[in-house]
Amino acid sequence: MAGAVDLSALKARAEAPVRPPQAPGAAPAAGAAGPFVVDVTEQSFQSDVLERSLQVPVVVDLWATWCGPCKQLSPVLERLAAAANGAWVLAKVDVDANPRIAQAFGVQSIPMVVAVVGGQPVDAFNGAQPEPQVRQWISSLLDAVRDRMPGIAEAERGAEAPAEPEEEPEEEPEDPRFTAAEDALERGDWDEAEAAYQAILAQEPANEQAQAALAQVRFLARAEKVDPTAIERADAAPDDVDAQLAAADAEVAGDGVEDAFARLVDTVRRTSGDDRDRVREHLVGLFDLFAPDDPRVTAARRALARALF
């Protein structure tokens, strides 16, 4: 399979800031089954799969919630990934939520498992295989690339070493830049708070804490100005894009998050061109107010993908 699939298009489509690649043997973000299992989206594909595969092999599990064989195979892969201690990483991809990844791998049936090394797919299999067969496939993969990927041996040595007692983490000193921004927030001075977070991002564009806080500040500033009748006006004028955006803000502010997401997804379906782009960007901005794994966000991202494609 080496060289048969071009994954470069997914790099260009990533909308989220890319995290720096991790050192060999370092644990990725924790997934559902441990630190060496990660749920991958189109936005995180470059960092979680392509860049990570420069250090250790990444085994991509392409699955869907409705797929029965997937429910048999995924737990096997998760157990083996946990036991490997980072000698390889399991990247789980929900093909319904991430159709571009499925398209890039040429998925015709699931479950499909693809090994990515050095940013390129090198081997794959389809269907729910028994655990001994999956174990042998992974062992063969590691043996084939161990000499040129020192991260594998490093992780394997760590798995054999006795566990060291955990040390209490040192408390990080408070960042005065964030203190100033938070003080402005408490005063309700949205402009000053936004300026403070933008100043941090000017120095550290990838600072995720400042990115999330800036999204919150901008939303609070908008929500404060929303007309109390925004939802009624939007319901009466479904083709008024500005009214739909304002109503979505009002719904999120009133804890009607799912209603807001559904409203904007429906508006995306009804619009085109610049109007559609405005609505999509506004919806993605609302997603940033919540944790990426919030089930309301996950469901809305899937609905948005269906509306767009």
Supply the residues annotated as catalytic: 67, 70
Report the distance separating Cα 203 and Cα 185, nearest Å: 21
Residues near 133 by Cβ (< 8 Å), separated by ≥ 6? none
- For residue 292, how many other CB atoms are within 10 A of its CB? 15
Alpha carbons 187 and 253: distance in angstroms, whole number: 19
- Other beta carbons within 10 Å of 132: 9
124 in Cβ contact with 63 (< 8 Å): no
- What sign results for the dihedral spanned by CA atoms 141, 130, 69, 75? negative
Instruction: Give the bridge partners for 52, in sequence order.
Output: none
Sign (positive or negative) of CA dihedral 108, 114, 119, 120: negative
Question: Which residues lie across from 63 on neighbouring strands?
Answer: 94
**Crossing angle of helices 176-187 and 208-224, rounded to 10°:** 10
In order, the DSSP letters of 61-74 are EEE-TT-HHHHHHH
For residue 132, cis peptide bond before it (omega within 30 degrees of 0): no
From residue 95, give the alpha-carbon distance in Å to each of 41, 43, 103, 183, 279. Answer: 9, 14, 9, 43, 24
Tokens for 193, please give them: 């708070």
Interatomic CA distance for residues 122 and 300, integer angstroms:
33
Residue 225's SS3 state is coil
